[in-house]
């Protein structure tokens, strides 16, 4: 299912420097501004804990993706 709030959150973090800095120092305060479900908040924080803000083609990201290699996908 599509999540409007999740799209808005990511757009704000990547499009607004002030929000980006706020998210890096206090992610909860930014999350509170969006109507996210508890699972969405968990997913955001889990991604942040593993990868930070994914803004570069990092080897860390590739390693994480490799771990979720596919069977179903073609």
Q: Which is nearer to another protein, 25 or 72 (CB)?
A: 72
DSSP string, 32-66: TTS---HHHHHHHHHHHHHHSS--S--HHHHHHHH
State which residue, 29 or 60, has the beta carbon closest to another protein: 60
The rounded radius of gyration (Å) of the Cα atoms in the chain is 14
Name which position in 17, 25, 28, 72 contacts another protein (CB under 8 A).
72
Question: Would you count residue 31 as binding another protein (CB under 8 A)?
Answer: no
- In 3D space, the residue among 51, 53, 2 whose CA is nearest the CA of residue 30 turns out to be 53
Which stretches of the chain bind another protein, using CB under 8 A?
Answer: 1-3, 6-7, 10-11, 13-15, 39-40, 42-44, 46-47, 51, 53-57, 61-62, 64-74
């Amino acid at each position: 299912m599509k999540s409007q709030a999740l799209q808005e959150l990511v757009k704000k973090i990547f499009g607004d420097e002030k929000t980006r800095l706020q998210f890096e120092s206090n992610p909860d305060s930014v999350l509170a501004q969006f109507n996210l479900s508890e699972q969405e908040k968990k997913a955001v924080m889990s991604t942040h804990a593993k990868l930070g803000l994914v803004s570069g083609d990092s080897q860390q990201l590739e390693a994480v993706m490799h771990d979720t290699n596919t069977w179903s996908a073609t």
